[in-house]
C-alpha cells in the first residue's frame, strides 16, 4: 500500500459516492436529515481536487490525513466529523511511504476506533459501525491466515456489505434515526451504506492492480451493483 494506491482508492470512492448520491440521500430521507448523499458528494469533490492538484504526498499518512481534513471541513454534520476522524486516524497510523497488509490493518483499526470514540456507537446501534467493524474483523482474520492485501480487502468489502444490510431490521439507538424509535426499523442505515461503498472501492482498486493470470481475459460491462448501495429501504 503506497500513496498511489491510496490515491486510486480515494478517487474510486469519490466516483462511487457521486454516482450513489441520490441513493444515499433517499436512504437518509427515510430516517435522517435527507442530506447524506449531498454532503458526502460535496466532500469527495474536494478530495478529487486534492488528488488532481499534483504529485501525491510522500507518505500514505499525509494523503489520508489531508483527506480527513477536507471531509471534516466540507461534509458537515456528523458524517463529516466521523469520516474526517476516520481518515485522520488512519493517516496518523501510517506515516510511511509503503505499508504491508498488517500495517494497513492497524490503520483500519485506528479508523474504526476513531468512529467508535466520536460516535459512542457499537455494533447493533444501526450506524456506520455495523459495516465498519465486521470489515475490519474480516480484514484482520484473513491477514492472520497469511493472505495478501487483495484477498484481505475483498473479504473486508464483503463483510461491510453484509454488515450494512444487517442494519435494515435494527431499531436505531444513535443519531437522528434514534428519534424515530421503532419506525427506524426496516430501513438501511445511510452511513453503513456509504461505508460499504468505501470498502468496495478499496477492493475494486486493489483487484484492478493484481497481476492477471496468463491468458486471462478482462470482463467488460457495467460495474455490478453493490448490495449496500442497492438494497431498497422498506417504507
| Per-residue pLDDT of the chain in tens (235 residues, 90 and over written 9) | 898 999 999 999 999 999 999 999 999 999 998 999 999 999 999 999 989 887 767 899 999 999 999 999 999 788 999 999 999 999 999 998 888 999 999 999 999 999 999 999 999 999 999 999 999 999 999 999 999 999 999 999 999 999 999 999 999 999 889 999 999 999 999 999 999 999 999 999 999 987 655 454 544 343 434 333 333 333 3
Phi, psi (degrees; rounded to nearest 5) at 2 = -130, 180
**What digits encode the pLDDT tens for the residues 81-119?**
999 999 999 999 999 888 899 999 999 999 999 999 999
The overall pTM is greater than 0.95: no
CATH of 3-208, one of 1.10.10.10, 1.25.40.340, 3.90.1150.10, 2.30.300.10: 1.25.40.340
Phi, psi (degrees; rounded to nearest 5) at 98 = -140, 140
Amino acid at each position: 500500500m503506497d500513496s498511489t494506491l491510496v490515491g486510486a482508492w480515494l478517487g474510486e470512492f469519490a466516483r462511487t459516492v457521486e454516482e450513489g448520491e441520490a441513493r444515499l440521500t433517499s436512504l437518509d430521507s427515510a430516517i435522517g436529515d435527507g442530506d447524506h448523499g449531498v454532503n458526502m458528494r460535496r466532500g469527495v469533490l474536494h478530495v478529487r481536487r486534492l488528488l488532481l492538484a499534483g504529485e501525491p504526498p510522500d507518505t500514505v499518512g499525509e494523503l489520508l490525513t489531508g483527506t480527513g481534513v477536507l471531509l471534516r471541513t466540507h461534509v458537515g454534520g456528523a458524517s463529516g466529523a466521523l469520516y474526517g476522524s476516520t481518515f485522520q486516524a488512519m493517516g496518523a497510523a501510517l506515516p510511511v511511504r509503503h505499508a504491508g497488509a498488517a500495517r494497513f490493518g492497524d490503520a483500519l483499526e485506528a479508523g474504526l476506533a476513531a468512529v467508535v470514540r466520536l460516535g459512542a456507537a457499537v455494533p447493533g446501534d444501526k450506524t456506520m459501525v455495523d459495516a465498519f467493524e465486521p470489515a475490519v474483523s474480516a480484514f484482520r482474520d484473513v491477514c492472520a491466515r497469511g493472505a495478501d492485501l487483495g484477498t484481505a480487502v475483498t473479504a473486508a468489502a464483503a463483510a461491510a456489505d453484509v454488515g450494512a444490510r444487517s442494519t435494515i431490521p435494527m431499531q436505531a439507538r444513535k443519531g437522528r434515526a434514534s428519534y424515530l424509535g421503532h419506525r427506524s426499523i426496516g430501513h438501511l442505515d445511510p452511513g453503513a451504506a456509504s461505508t460499504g461503498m468505501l470498502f468496495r472501492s478499496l477492493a475494486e482498486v486493489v483487484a484492478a492492480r493484481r497481476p492477471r493470470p496468463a491468458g486471462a481475459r478482462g470482463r467488460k460491462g457495467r460495474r455490478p451493483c453493490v448490495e449496500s448501495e442497492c438494497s431498497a429501504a422498506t417504507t
